[in-house]
Structure 1
Amino acid sequence: MMETVDSLFENALERYKAGEEPANLIPVFKQICDRAPKSSAAWACLAWLYLLNDKPTPAYKAAQKAVKLNPQDAQSRVNLAVAMLETGQPGVRQHVDQAMQLIMIDTEMRDEIKQSIADGVSRKPDWKSLERVKSWLFE
């Protein structure tokens, strides 16, 4: 029996939260994105994993898809801004400003972004691009 996309996603997310290496989870999230190409959450996760794995170009492409599918998702905007910084793309500020507007009106989303950034810094210390986005959003 094939796993449903939802169970595959939940399982992969749990593996990530348990500390599994991002490199091991990239193929899983690629499969999820192939099976559910309109899942902005899956694309956002894939972008984040690519960023953690020092692959900013595929991260940029995945983050663009996530933002296109769900422009109101702050995490997708943060991922896109970080990927843009790491690939030298212009227009970063627009995505940071959009993420800021989203987290100002939604405290739950703000807490999730803070938690996500803290997780990113703990998994990848000295992550300059993420630190810049964090300072723009929260300082």
Structure 2
Amino acid sequence: MFGLLFFILFTPGVSEFLCMSPDLEMSYTFCDSTAHAFMFNLTPCSMMDKSVWKAALTWIPRSDVTFLKVVFNVWYNGARALHWKERLCSGIDDEYSVCGKLKGETVATNFDIKGARMKFPKGNYDIILQGFSDDSENNMVICLNFTMIVK
């Protein structure tokens, strides 16, 4: 019950700061048209710390998560730097905790972001993360627009 108090209910266009430090700023907004029950945390907030970033995600999906495909796009100083697609849930032998969650059921998970070990050049990064409930990418269940400024 108290966990629900920590959810942040967002409306599109409202930015949420993940972290701010002398060498890094990160924030995100939703890029789809509806509000979400969603929380995302990231530690440590530093590019100088060589440890792996630890992420914590809490989300209440608006539909059942039997199939989930993510599309990840990264732009660096306005130029496309990465385009990656991955099917996380297919309904058969899924390994991620989000798979199989029902509409309205809380997803609460922690994971490592190993890309933090990479050396990121200074500059502005725009990261779009989209989640789809179908392979054709027609039914978007979540869309996040992350901004990362490496100083």
What TM-score results when the alignment is normalised by the length of structure 1? Answer: 0.29
- Bigger relative contact order, structure 1 or 2, given CA contacts below 8 A and separation 6+? 2
> Which one has a larger percent helix, Structure 1 or Structure 2?
1
> Which one has a larger percent strand, Structure 1 or Structure 2?
2
